[in-house]
Amino acid sequence: MINWKKINLERRLIMLVDLHIHESKYSLDSHVSLENIVAEAKSKGLDGIAITDHDDMQIKEEAKALSELLNYPIFVGVEYLTLEGDIVAFGIDQVPEGRIPAQEFIDIVKAAGGVCIAAHPFRNNNRGLENNLNIVKGLAGIEGFNGNTDKLSNLKAVETAKKLGIQTVGSSDAHHQHEVGKYATKLPFKVANIEELIEAIKTNKCTPRIYIDGEYKEIKEN
């Protein structure tokens, strides 16, 4: 017999968030506005989104205002290109000037109380950490399912995450409206602000989800 009460309770306690999205004002390679990102996310049933523009966090005030207006969580982080590759970070107020080593960036974010996630580590564009995943210390997550990365590269990221004991997350890395929410991450509890998002990520209990046939489904990683 299906325990619908338990299922509904679990749905209220979890939260689905796309942790890596680019908007067009501050990521010049993006073609979607913040308003349209939110509209697409809500239409797919996401509970919140994260805007992680390239080396830029200027959207913070605009995101805060829209989040309050719509009563919809919008978290602002950054996708920063270190000397070894891209890292998504939450919890810093400023982006380092110029390029610095990945470990130095991770240390800066951790010192500020934040978290770092390796973005598309094996994508074939020289912007992923690749085998540096085995060297750097302090990552809170690895994008095993990135919406703009090919399947084999994603699977390699998943296998590396398992080997290192680091949680796998799902993110769209959207640059167009239809891409928003292709993959998402299930947080272990509801969060309402960036501090709570960081605490949820730190649990190492986040799991990826894929949007198929109008709903988010668990991804079998084996």
Helix (H, G, I), strand (E, B) or coil at 166: coil
Structure tokens at 131: 């085998």
**221 — pLDDT class (breaks 50, 70, 90):** low
Structure tokens at 73: 């969580």
Contact (Cβ atoms closer than 8 angstroms) between residue 85 and residue 130: yes
Contact (Cβ atoms closer than 8 angstroms) between residue 153 and residue 127: no
| Three-class DSSP labels, 45-69 | CCCEEEECCECCCCCHHHHHHHHHH
What is the per-residue pLDDT across 49-67, written as a single tens digit (0 to 9) for each? Answer: 999 999 999 999 999 999 9
Instruction: State the maximum Cα–Cα separation within the chain, in Å, rounded to a whole number.
Output: 59
Mean pLDDT for 139-168 is 97
What is the per-residue pLDDT across 164-210, written as a single tens digit (0 to 9) for each? Answer: 999 999 999 999 999 999 999 999 999 999 999 999 999 999 999 99
Instruction: Note every long-range contact of 103-106, with CB atoms under 8 Å and residues 24 or more positions apart, other chains counting.
Output: 103/135, 103/136, 103/137, 103/138, 105/80, 106/136, 106/137, 106/138, 106/139
pLDDT at 6: 44
Q: Return the closest-CA partner of residue 23 out of 33, 14, 13, 12.
A: 33
Q: Chain-wide mean pLDDT for the chain?
A: 94
Among 13-17, 23-27, 76-80, the least confident range? 13-17
**23 — pLDDT class (breaks 50, 70, 90):** very high
pTM value is 0.92
Domains of the chain from N-terminus onward: 15-215 (3.20.20.140)
pLDDT at 91: 98
**1 — pLDDT class (breaks 50, 70, 90):** very low
User: From the CB of residue 2, how many other CB atoms can be counted at a distance below 10 Å?
Assistant: 6
Is the pLDDT reported for residue 11 higher than 60? no
Helix (H, G, I), strand (E, B) or coil at 171: strand
- Comparing 126 with 42, which gets the higher pLDDT? 42
